Structure formats: structure tokens, C-alpha cells
Amino acid sequence: MVFEWLKRIAPRGLYGRAALILFLPVVVVTIVVTVMFLQRHFEDVTRQMTGSMTREITLVARRIDEAADIPAAQSLAKRETTQLELQLVLPAVEPYGDWHDFWDLSGRVVIEELHSRVAQVIAVDLSRRREVRVTLNSKLGPYQLVFPRGRVSASNPHQLLVLMIGTSLLMTAIATIFLRNQLRPIKRLARAAEEYGKGRIIPYRPAGASEIRSAGTAFLEMRGRIERQNEQRKQMLSGVSHDLRTPLTRLRLGLSMLSPDLPPEPDEIAGLESDVAAMGKMVDAFLDHARDAAQDAPPAAELALDFVRGIVADAQRGGQAVELGKMQGEPNGRAIFRQDSLRRAIENLIGNAVRYGEHAVVEAALGPSWFRISVEDDGPGIPSDRRDEALKPFTRLVPARNQNQGQGVGLGLSIAADIARAHGGQLRLVDGATLGGLRAEIVIPR
């Protein structure tokens, strides 16, 4: 029940909650320290100083009680009051009672100590700010002793309270400005995420503390991946529609040329079957890519180098001209990745290498924070100015890599690049240093 009530009155926004978390402990600690300080310091010091003062008051009271009349009492007490810097009022009007302001915290202690230590005290008047008037009773009637307030209590605690409150307000203002500056990047990140959820992209630059910068960088990377996936999806749909248009046109033309009276020629049937097979291959490749992306298993820690050795062994059993190259790093070192999708990416790179070349070499290296797999072939390679284009789906660079038969549908490098980015890494295309062809490198964090 209490928690429900607290939830209702607690601030809803991040700024209000952060301010509450920051200022509430400070206020509580300040109050506790103030109360303890006032109680332990001012009360103890005031009791000690008042106790010392009561001995002087008792001495003067004793001299007055020894006198036979008022002039004699004034004469006897004059020396003590002069030496003790006390002012004697004899006779004096009997007051109505004790008096002190309600905010005078040490005044209550002074009155209690004087009454408890000096039996002759009738009343204590603290109405004057810097003066104490103690009324005592004697056989000659009431009289007063007047002395400075500073002799029975420490300096007024209001000065401490004013200084403490002023300092607290100043530090609160500074903390508010600092807190606002720290929360501004969070608000900007939240606004960028909210706008992106509505389909709008606004400029955003990570700022603030390191954790907020990390969150902002992660948001930008996520937004970039989503945008790239959307762009690739559009390119795939455009590529499928474009690539299907040619065989469909040939099919339509071939069917229109068939005669209802004569059976089709074997060459015509073979051409139609080839077009149907090409369309099926493109559709299957597109569906496989979409299906694999949707069915990826969660990442797990795997033996990195053994994983690459297994892929090369499977390719060799399949009759592909591929061999295992240098394997660098800890033999039992592990990396975190999705085994099925990364296997498909490497197999696509091997398939491309042996399709456009005659021989391929697979190498792997395991570093302190990264895992790199390289596939190099001895084919014609890809010009450096067209490598970005080669990573787009349904892209076939016919002039550069048409030395071999069995052309694909242009998804191999695109799928490998997508898988590398999904692991937080990248696919790099560089010139091969060993075989002289193309070298494809997948680099992912461990």
C-alpha cells in the first residue's frame, strides 16, 4: 500500500527521478547531520558554559545572602560583580517567568541549567538578543544579574543554519545545471529513437557520458543496419523483378511461337526449361536468403579455428578446389558467433572463389578481440572502384569475373556482407597477395 502511494507521488520523468535520487539523500544527510551537530555541539557546549557561569552566580548569591540589608549586600557583592563582569540590579522587579524565543535552540538549555544548578533562580529572561537577565530570590527580595549571552552559549546556531542553507541552495543550483547537461543527451537519444520509430530520420550525434555515448553509438549502428537491410530488401525485390523479366519475356515469346498443329521442337522445349530453371534458381536464392536470416540461431562461443577447418574439409569432400592456409591464434581459442549463418557466409565466399578461379585458399586468424576468416582465389579479381557495387544483391560483374561457367544470381557477396554486419563486423574485398586474385575477409569481434 505504501509503495503504491509512493509510485503515485513520485515524478514520472527521467529528470525528476534523477533529481530525486540526487537531492533526497543529500537533504536527509544534511538534516541528520544538522540535528546531531546542534544536539551534540550546541547543547553540550551550552551546558558546559552555563555550568561554569552558575559558579559565578552562586558566589554572588552567597555574598548577598550574607548581607544584613540592601546597602550592605550591594557593597559586599560589588567586588565580585566587578571582577566577574556582572551587572547587579538590587532590588529588582519580580518577573512573570522565563522567556526565550521559540527558535532559540540553546536558550532552552541555558534556562534548564540555571534552574537546576542554582536554587535561588526565579526566572531567566532571554528576550534581549545579546543579554541574559537572571532573577534570583533572597531574604532581601528579588534581584537580577545581567551578563552577555556569549558567556553561557556558543555563537548563535542561526548563522550556521543560514550558511548551510545558502551553501545547499548554491550546490543544488550547480547540481541542477550539471544534471540537466547530463540528461540532455539522453533526451536527444530518446527523441531520435522516437522519430525513427515514426519513420523519420533526424540528425543525431552521440554525446554525454561514456555510457550514453555507447548507447548512442549502438543506436546509430542499429539504425544503419536497419536502413541497409531495408535498402537491400528493395534492391533484392528490384533485382528479382528485373532478372525475372528477361526469362519471362523469352518464355512468352517462345510460347507464342509454338504452333497448335505441330509438336514443339526439342530445342524449343530445352530453351523453355532453361528459362524456368533460371527463374526457379533466382526465386530459391531469394527465399533461402530470407529464410536463413529469419532462422538464425543465437550466437554461442565456438572453437574458432576448428570451425574453419571443418568448413574447408566439407568443401574438399564436395570436390571444390580449396585448401587450408595459415591458421593463427590459440588452437583452443573461442569466438562468439552464429555458427549456421557464418558457415553459409564462408561457403558462399568459397563458392565464389572456385567459380571465378581455379583454386582457393582459406586462412583464419584469432586475435585478442577479433576473428578473421580470409578466402583468396586466383581469378581475375574485382576492380577496386567496383567492389562496393559487388556487395549489392543481384549484382554480377560480368566483365571482370566471367572466366568460368556456372554464373550465380549475385547474392553470394551480399549475403556474406549481411552476415558479417549482423555479427558486428564487416566484409572486406582486397587484392590477393598470394594467388593474385580477389581476397575476401570477414572480420568479426570475438
Q: Considering the domain boundaries, does residue 195 fall inside one?
A: no
Domain stop point among 155, 186, 206: 155
* Count of structural domains, the chain: 3
**324 and 431 both lie in a single domain:** yes
Q: pLDDT tens digits for 374-385?
A: 999 988 888 888
Neighbouring C-alpha atoms within 13 Å toward the C-beta of 219: 25
**231 and 147 both lie in a single domain:** no
Q: Considering the domain boundaries, does residue 210 fall inside one?
A: no
Q: Considering the domain boundaries, does residue 172 fall inside one?
A: no
Would you say 446 and 439 are in contact if contact means Cβ atoms under 8 Å apart? no
Q: Of residues 273 and 242, which shows the higher confidence score?
A: 273
Q: Considering the domain boundaries, does residue 438 fall inside one?
A: yes
Would you say 167 and 94 are in contact if contact means Cβ atoms under 8 Å apart? no
Decide: residue 270, CB within 10 A, 0-12 exposed, 13-18 middle, 19+ buried.
exposed
Mean pLDDT across 200-213: 85
Q: Considering the domain boundaries, does residue 326 fall inside one?
A: yes
Report how far residue 296's alpha carbon sits from residue 422's, in angstroms, rounded to the nearest whole number: 10
Range of the domain at 324: 299-396+408-445
CATH of the domain at 286: 1.10.287.130
Q: What percent of the chain has pLDDT over 90?
A: 22
Domain stop point among 271, 295, 319: 295
Residue 147 has pLDDT above 90, yes or no: yes
**282 and 318 both lie in a single domain:** no
Q: Which amino acid is at 218?
A: A
Residue 262 pLDDT class (50, 70, 90 cuts): low
How many of the other CB atoms lie within 10 Å of CB of 328? Answer: 12
Q: pLDDT tens digits for 91-142?
A: 888 777 888 887 777 888 899 999 999 999 999 999 887 899 999 999 888 9
Would you say 362 and 309 are in contact if contact means Cβ atoms under 8 Å apart? no
**259 and 363 both lie in a single domain:** no
Report CA dihedral (61, 66, 70, 76) to the nearest 10 degrees: -80
* Residues in a beta bridge with 302: 335
**285 and 304 both lie in a single domain:** no
**121 and 233 both lie in a single domain:** no
**9 and 151 both lie in a single domain:** yes
Residue 42: the pLDDT is 73
Domain stop point among 272, 295, 318: 295
**45 and 113 both lie in a single domain:** yes
**288 and 340 both lie in a single domain:** no
Residue 5 pLDDT class (50, 70, 90 cuts): low
Residue 324 has pLDDT above 90, yes or no: yes
Q: pLDDT tens digits for 398-414?
A: 444 444 444 555 667 88
Q: Considering the domain boundaries, does residue 219 fall inside one?
A: no
Residue 146: the pLDDT is 93
pTM (2 decimals)?
0.50
Q: Considering the domain boundaries, does residue 207 fall inside one?
A: no
Q: Considering the domain boundaries, does residue 196 fall inside one?
A: no
Q: pLDDT tens digits for 10-68?
A: 666 666 777 777 777 777 887 787 777 766 777 788 888 999 999 999 999 988 988 88
Range 205-228 burial, b when 16+ CB lie within 10 A, else e: ebebeeebeebbeebeeeeeeeee
Residue 292 has pLDDT above 60, yes or no: no
**277 and 324 both lie in a single domain:** no
**288 and 331 both lie in a single domain:** no
Residue 78: the pLDDT is 86
**134 and 256 both lie in a single domain:** no
3-state secondary structure the chain: CHHHHHHHHCCCCHHHHHHHHHHHHHHHHHHHHHHHHHHHHHHHHHHHHHHHHHHHHHHHHHHHHHCCCHHHHHHHHHHHHHHCCCEEECCCCCCCCCECCCCCHHHHHHHHHHHHHCCCEEEEECCCCCEEEEEECCCCCCEEEEEEHHHCCCCCHHHHHHHHHHHHHHHHHHHHHHHHHHHHHHHHHHHHHHHHHCCCCCCCCCCCCHHHHHHHHHHHHHHHHHHHHHHHHHHHHHHHHHHHHHHHHHHHHHHHHCCCCCCCCHHHHHHHHHHHHHHHHHHHHHHHHHHHHHCCCCCEEEEHHHHHHHHHHHHHHCCCCEEEEEEECCCCCEEEECHHHHHHHHHHHHHHHHHHCCCEEEEEEECCCEEEEEEEECCCCCCHHHHHHHCCCCCCCCCCCCCCCCCCCCCHHHHHHHHHHHCCCEEEEEECCCCCCEEEEEEEEC
